Amino acid sequence: MDRIRILVVDDHPLFRQGLRDVLRSEDDIDVVGEAANGEEAIAMTQALAPDAVILDINLPDQNGLQVTRQLKALHSSAAVVLLTAYDDSEQILHAFRAGGSAYCPKDVTPAQLVQILRQVVQGHFVVGDQLFDQEGLQNWLDRNVEKAGRSHAAETRETSASKRRC
């Protein structure tokens, strides 16, 4: 099997070092670069052509969703694994609609992250503990966008009704 080339993007040096140390302990993974912001992430992805980018959502210059969209617009083939300290369902939808391959809370275990990386470089998508191909992801997105839309519509109706009572 070919080695998996990874770019790590996070604005916290200690977190980057922790990821690098975990990944370098794997026989089939090479950390080919590190970036601290979105601009560096885009430039390094273009220069290094990694198989996957581990990308923090909360970056100082542009967020990880914006970076993901730009990478996809530049036709990068790198799988993007978005990491976040804030795990919410709406953010998950945005991550996959932007072109992400996986979405992980930062409390993911090292073993889980390594497994996710191996899955996304094979073309899979990881949502929580679910593994999808492209069609499965699209079906999941369609269901959840519709559900989010119904939830948003219900909240809007409740807000409007409470304003009328005031």
- Per domain, the residue ranges of the chain are 4-132
pLDDT, tens only, 97-116: 999 999 999 899 999 999 99
Confidence of residue 67 (pLDDT cuts 50, 70, 90): very high
Average pLDDT, the chain: 88
pLDDT, tens only, 1-15: 589 999 999 999 999
Chain-centre distance for alpha carbon 125: 10
pTM over 0.75, yes/no: yes
Confidence of residue 155 (pLDDT cuts 50, 70, 90): very low
Pure H helices in 89-133: 89-98, 110-120
Look at the block and give the residue holding tokens 């560096």.
40
* Cβ contact 71:101 at 8 Å: no
Q: Just give the CATH number of 4-132.
A: 3.40.50.2300
pLDDT, tens only, 132-154: 999 999 999 988 887 766 544 44
